[in-house]
Amino acid sequence: MCDTVVALGNSTRSGAVLFGKNSDREPNEAHELVHIPAGDHQPGEVVKCTYVEVPQVPHTHAVFLAKPFWIWGAEMGANEHGVVIGNEAVFTKVPYEKGPGLIGMDFLRLALERSDNAEKAMYVIIHLLETYGQGGNCGFAHPFYYHNSFLIADTQQAWVLETAGRQWAAEKVKDIRSISNSITIETEWDLASDDLIRFAMDSGWCSDKGHFNFARCYSDFLYTRFSDAHRRQRCTINALYTQKGTITLHTIMQALRQHTSPETNGWTPDQAIFGSDVCMHAGFGPMRGSQSVGSMVSSLGQDGCEHWVTGTAAPCTGIFKPVWIDAGLPDLGPAPSGRYDPETLFWKHERLHRQVLFDYPARMALYAGDRDELETQFLAGAEPVRKGSPAERLAYSQECFDQALARTDQWIQMIEQSAVNKKTVFYYQRAWNSFNQQAQLLGSDVRLP
């Protein structure tokens, strides 16, 4: 389950478009940050996506991707022209194509590589969707099939594109918008597939045009309900609307760190089998099988674009660091896999994250203030280098990542030396022991407190 938000310039303090997303995947489905330079391609070339090949275009733009390590595409990313996209799984009544095909993450990367503004990116996805359809397994350790919605933005505009099979509808964003794991467009849209309503009528989902509602007619009730998408969407929308006109990068970061509505206190990650949070932590049972494995926040301004990423799970336990596409990525160490490797950015942080989970309130309190102070320093330090050379921005990005890693080592040592004062619910402990064994984290016989 994922959450994606955008605030146009008319709602932000700086006037820049601000975008954010949490990518929720399986706990051991490591999140990878990659930079792919622009390229020119010969006639007749094809590009191999996750499962299938499609014709290549003459030129592809430079892109930054935050992605599941094993997938060709990405759950979120940006390109050199300031286009950003996040995708969401949506669950519909249209049968899923389970054979090899283009998956939502492939559409996202193809659109970033082939578009220089948000509207063009949307049409790239629409064209590919109508030409090839969408299908294929999107799960890592367990098969998982779904359709997709997208939030697409650039420095001036944003669009929501929601799909069900080869049907789709699109809405142009006016100020603030969020999407989660449900179709949100109902009876009003700006663009739609030619037979969107007729398909629903022929399928028996509505009697006539006057009763058509995209979300109601096409949504699968059970999966949409158990994804808790409507509550999570309300949570992110409320977080932004309360600060409309003064929204900053920090606002978006804090919105992505939410676990419950603001008035709820005493949250711990082991308290439920059902339900989902914006900042998601996996637990026991099929309804809590995913966690926020990576987060991204982007500032898209006329004078430049920058992106803040965790590269690690659970933004509440991690820290956002800056990257710039024209500067490239700093040295992040080896690429991660689905097995524990302390040399990788993702798994280094997982040792911290997974220890925090077993006494969340007490252990977060040990370093949350330090994390916030460091992140505030990063944000302030980015100000003077924004107009510097790419080399200067890359050096600053490397400095932030290095400091975050060094501080993570300190936090791990502190957390592992702290006593556990809370008794963890047994089924939650059992689930995480299983995740850790599968990842070979701390040895196959690990038993966390």
Of the candidates 245, 243, 249, 240, the residue with the CA atom closest to the CA atom of residue 379: 249
Cβ atoms of 290 and 2 closer than 8 Å: no
Q: How far apart are CA 356 and CA 366, in angstroms?
A: 10
Q: Report the DSSP pairing between strands 167-172 and 158-164.
A: antiparallel
In the block, residue with structure tokens 């690990």: 446
Strand partners, 329: none
Using the Cα atoms of residue 435, residue 265, residue 271 and residue 280 in order, give the sign of their dihedral. Answer: negative
Residue 2: Cβ within 10 Å count: 27
Provide the token pair at 343.
């040399």
Using the Cα atoms of residue 88, residue 94, residue 98 and residue 100 in order, give the sign of their dihedral. Answer: negative
DSSP 8-class letter at 231: H
The catalytic position among 2, 49, 138, 400 is 2
DSSP 8-class letter at 335: P
Q: How far apart are CA 418 and CA 114, in angstroms?
A: 50
Active site residue 2: yes
H helices of 38-163, in order, are 104-114, 118-132
* Cα–Cα distance list, 14 to 30, 158, 245, 246, 389 (Å): 33, 17, 9, 8, 22
b/e map 129-165, b = 16+ CB within 10 Å: beebebbbbbebeeeebbbbbbbbbbbebbbbbbbbb
DSSP string, 420-441: P-SPPPHHHHHHHHHHHHHHTT
* Cα–Cα distance list, 369 to 257, 280, 363, 365, 429 (Å): 14, 21, 12, 7, 27
Q: How far is CA 370 from the centre of its chain?
A: 25
Largest CA distance in the chain: 65
Q: How far is CA 114 from the centre of its chain?
A: 21
Name the residues annotated as catalytic. 2
